[in-house]
Amino acid sequence: MRKNYFMFLFYATIFMAVTISCKKQDAKPLLDTKLYNSKLREYTENVGIVHNEGLDYFLKGSKALTANDSVSGWQLGDGSNLVNDNSISKQVISFSIGYVNSNGGNEVPIPDAVEVLQSAVDNLTPTSVEDVWDDELSRLDDENLLTVREKNMVGQLKNIFSDGYNLNLNQADAKTYFENRLNTIQAQYQTVVFEENEGELYLGLLNLAKASNNYWHNSQELDNYDPTKLENPIIQLDLIGYIVGWTRAVIADYRAGSLNPSGQYRRIDKGIEYGLAASLTGWLKKIAPGDMEGIPKFNEILPLYDEPLSLPTPLPVTIMYWSSESELNDTVTDYSQDLEVFQNPLDNKYYANTNYTIIASDGFYFHSNNNGLIKIAKIINGSVVTIYRMIHPL
C-alpha cells in the first residue's frame, strides 16, 4: 500500500511538471518593458514633427490671404487649388490620412469621427472642445482602456489649456504660458516606466501639444498671426483630433482581441491623422480670413484593361457608392452612401435586393484596395462595364 502511495505521488508530480511546462509554452511572452518604453517614446516624439510638416505641406506656398480672397484663388504648396465644398472635415481627414500613411490615402474616414470634428469646428470654443475631450475619455473608461495613472496625466494636459484660456491670454503670452507648463509636465513624468499598452495617448498628446503650440504661435509661419489677439483654441482642437483618432483605433483593436504593443504604431498614426485633420479644418473654417470652404482636388480615375468585369467575391455587406464620375473625381473618399449589392447567379447581374427584382443603381462602386492600388467598378444596368484605377498623386 505504501509503495502504491509513493508511485501515485511520483506520477502526480510528473503530470504537474508536464502541465506547468506546457502552460509556460502557451503563455503570452513577457513584455520587454525597457524596449517597449524606448520604442514608444521614440515613436511618439515624431507625432508633432509629422503634424507640423503636414500643416506646412498643406498651407505653405499659398498666396497671402485677405478678407476679400475667395477660396478659388488660394493655391496650396503643391500648386493645386482649393475647391468649394461644405463637408470639409471628411475631405480634410482624407488628405491627412493620405499624408500620414501613403498606403491609406483612399481609406474611408470613420463616420462618427468626422461628425465629432465637424461639430467641434462649427462650435469652436474652449468649452465645446473640452466637452469633446471628456466624451472621448468616457468612451475609453467604458472599455477600461486607460490606466488610472495615464488618465491622470492626460487630465493634467487638459488642465494646462483650460487654465490658459480662462486667463484670456493674448497669443504671444499664451505661447510662453503653454510652453512652460508643458515642459513642467514632461519633466514630471520623464522617468515613468509605462506598462503594456500604456503611454500611447499621453505621450502622443504631449508631443503634439508642444509642436502645435510652436507652430500656431510662430509669426514667421502664418501671414495673419497677430500676437495681440486673444488666444483661440486651435491647439486644443489638434489634441482632441489625436484623441478621436487614437480612441477609435484602440477600441477597434480591443474589441477584435488584438490590442497589443505591435499595433501601437498604427494606433498612434490614427491619432496623428485626425490631429492634423482637426488643425486644417479649424484653420480653414474658423481661423483663416476670407472664404475658406474647400480642400485640394486630387482624385483621378483611369480605366484598366483586361480586368474581369465583376466585383470581388464574396461581396461585402455594403459597398461604397458614388452616383457620378464628377462626384468621384471631386472628392477622395466622400461618397453618396453605402449600398447593399447582390449578384444573381443566373444572369450574373447585380441587384439591390435578394429577390433580384431591383437592378443595382447605375454608378461607381468601390472594388478593392490592394496595397494602395484602388479599383473602382462602374455598373450600368446591373453589369460591370469598366474597372478603373483611382489615382491619389499625394
Do 71 and 294 contact (CB within 8 A), yes or no? yes
pLDDT of residue 277: 86
Ordered per-residue pLDDT tens for the chain, 394 residues: 444 544 444 445 544 444 444 433 344 455 688 898 999 999 999 899 888 888 877 765 343 333 333 333 334 434 444 443 444 556 677 777 777 775 444 566 777 787 788 778 777 777 888 888 999 999 999 989 999 999 999 999 999 988 888 888 887 888 899 999 999 999 999 999 999 889 999 999 999 999 999 888 875 545 455 556 667 788 898 999 999 999 999 999 999 898 988 888 889 989 998 998 888 877 766 555 343 333 333 456 777 777 889 998 888 888 888 888 777 765 444 555 778 899 999 999 999 999 999 999 999 888 887 655 678 899 999 999 988 877 543 3
Query: 3-class DSSP state for residue 304?
Result: strand
Terminal Cα distance for the chain, rounded: 82
Q: H helices within the chain, ranges in order?
A: 2-26, 33-59, 88-100, 111-122, 126-142, 148-166, 171-188, 200-216, 234-255, 264-282, 325-330
Range 293-324 burial, b when 16+ CB lie within 10 A, else e: bbbbbbbebeeeeeeeeebeeeeeeebbbbee
Place of cell 487649388: 81
Do 153 and 189 contact (CB within 8 A), yes or no? yes
Contacts of 73 (CB under 8 A, 6+ apart): 63, 81
Cell of 260: 497589443
DSSP element (H, E) containing 78 = none
Range 83-121 burial, b when 16+ CB lie within 10 A, else e: eebeebbbbbbbbbbbbbbeebbbbbbbeebbebbbebb
Give the DSSP letter of residue 358.
S
Number of C-beta neighbours around residue 182 at 10 A: 18
Cell of 209: 501639444
pLDDT of residue 146: 93
Give the DSSP letter of residue 102.
G
Query: 3-class DSSP state for residue 19?
Result: helix
Do 243 and 129 contact (CB within 8 A), yes or no? no
Q: For residues 208 and 211, what is the distance between their CA atoms, to the nearest angstrom?
A: 5
pTM score of the predicted model: 0.63
pLDDT of residue 353: 92
Cell of 152: 491622470
pLDDT of residue 243: 95
Give the DSSP letter of residue 103.
G
DSSP element (H, E) containing 356 = none
Q: For residues 261 and 194, what is the distance between their CA atoms, to the nearest angstrom?
A: 12
pLDDT of residue 314: 87
pLDDT of residue 333: 45
pLDDT of residue 358: 93
pLDDT of residue 224: 54
